[in-house]
Amino acid sequence: MNGKKILTVQDLSCVGQCSLTVALPVLSHYGLEAAILPTAVLSNHTMFKSWSYFDLTDEIPNIFAEWSKNGIKFSGFLLGYLGKQTIMALCERAFDEFSEGDAPVVIDPAFGDNGKLYGGFDADYVAAMRNLLKRADIILPNITEASFLIGCEYKTAYGREYVEDIAHKLFEMTGAVVVITGVELEGQIGELIYDGKTCEYVLSEKVPKYSHGTGDIFAAAFAAKYFNGAPLAEACSVAGKLVADCLKATADWHGYGVQFEDVLASSPQG
Ligand code: PXL
């Protein structure tokens, strides 16, 4: 236990191996105290045929009031699926009121994949996210989210120039270190890290399987390693390997998230 308390802000999907049900075990595995701010309670995530959605915007100010009274502060923030623009304003309040020193902020925009927005999101949500990302130290968009954020064509086949151009534009837009996830190049998959000066790729074997929820595992493991002091490339490579191992362990019939439990239990901690 390293004593760092991290606030992760995401939805609580009761079923579906995503968002908080992934972030909590992963952050704990890496020795961080995981505090949560649930943005909404869903019956299951939105890749199912239907879902119920209970938005928690109205409750969050009450939670904040108690955190203030109890002097609660966090050493880092990890944001995932937020659901509504109203939650974004509350995240900004959380950074202002509950940050221990200059606690780093990692934001996964978590609004789309495979060239499409997730159900329930629209252009206004993307515009609001553009603004929120300015408060981040590190952002973790996939290619879909990056293309919506900067308004460029979404491509499935591309070269380094396409990815690096996106990274430059996102850096200009947000001022945050950009980690583009799910970059597929030369038969491999991984990330491009751009810190405003240099581009660094962390690519490895592509497991030929798609599963929902891989982005959430990646974000939680990446953020945990980063909050523990790992260099960004190492955080990417640990998180990327975890995702690959989890995908391999996931049964073909499974259908809703990656079966990460056994892999996480046997992977190195800290
Ligand atoms: O994995 C991203 C995610 C998180 N939370 C909810 C989702 C999704 C993706 O569809 O629906 C509720």
Mutate to test the pocket of ligand 1, among 19, 22, 24 (most ligand atoms within 8 A of CB): 19
Q: Pick the atom of ligand 1 nearest to 110's CA.
A: 2
Q: Which of 61, 46, 36 is nearest to 14 (CA)?
A: 46
Residue 190, Ramachandran bin (φ over 0: left; ψ between -120 and 50: alpha; else beta): left
User: What is the per-residue pLDDT across 196-207, written as a single tens digit (0 to 9) for each?
Assistant: 999 999 999 999
Q: Which of 215, 202, 200 is nearest to 257 (CA)?
A: 215
Task: Flag whether pLDDT at 1 surpasses 60.
Answer: no
Question: What pTM does this model have?
Answer: 0.97
pLDDT, residue 254, reads 76
Alpha carbon distances (Å) from 121 to 54, 150, 192, 263, 264: 16, 16, 26, 32, 31
Mean pLDDT of 51-79: 98
Mean pLDDT of 216-237: 98
pLDDT, residue 231, reads 98
What lines the ligand 1 site, CB under 6 Å?
A: 11, 13, 18-19, 42, 45-47, 81, 110, 118, 213, 215-216
Query: What are the b/e assignments for 140-165, b being 16+ CB within 10 Å?
Result: bbbbbbbbbbbeeeeeeebeeebbee
User: What is the per-residue pLDDT across 153-188, written as a single tens digit (0 to 9) for each?
Assistant: 999 999 999 999 999 999 999 999 999 999 999 999
Mean pLDDT of 63-91: 98
Nearest CA to ligand 1 atom 7: 45
Nearest CA to ligand 1 atom 1: 213
Task: Flag whether pLDDT at 253 surpasses 80.
Answer: no
Work out the number of other CB atoms within 10 angstroms of the CB of residue 122: 9
pLDDT, residue 105, reads 98
Average pLDDT value for the chain: 96
What's the CA-to-centroid distance between 50 and ligand 1, angstroms?
13
Task: Flag whether pLDDT at 56 surpasses 90.
Answer: yes
Report whether 43 contacts 52 (CB < 8 A).
Answer: yes
What's the CA gap between 244 and 239, in Å, rounded? 9
Task: Flag whether pLDDT at 267 surpasses 60.
Answer: yes
- Percentage of the chain beyond pLDDT 70 is 99
Residue 251 binned pLDDT confidence (cut-offs 50, 70, 90): confident
Domains and CATH numbers, the chain: 5-266 (3.40.1190.20)
What's the CA-to-centroid distance between 105 and ligand 1, angstroms?
20
Q: Which of 55, 123, 109, 114 is nearest to 81 (CA)?
A: 109
Q: Pick the atom of ligand 1 nearest to 83's CA.
A: 12
What's the CA-to-centroid distance between 20 and ligand 1, angstroms?
10
pLDDT, residue 65, reads 98
Task: Flag whether pLDDT at 255 surpasses 80.
Answer: no
What's the CA-to-centroid distance between 71 and ligand 1, angstroms?
31
Mean pLDDT of 103-108: 98
What's the CA gap between 120 and 151, in Å, rounded? 19
pLDDT, residue 270, reads 82
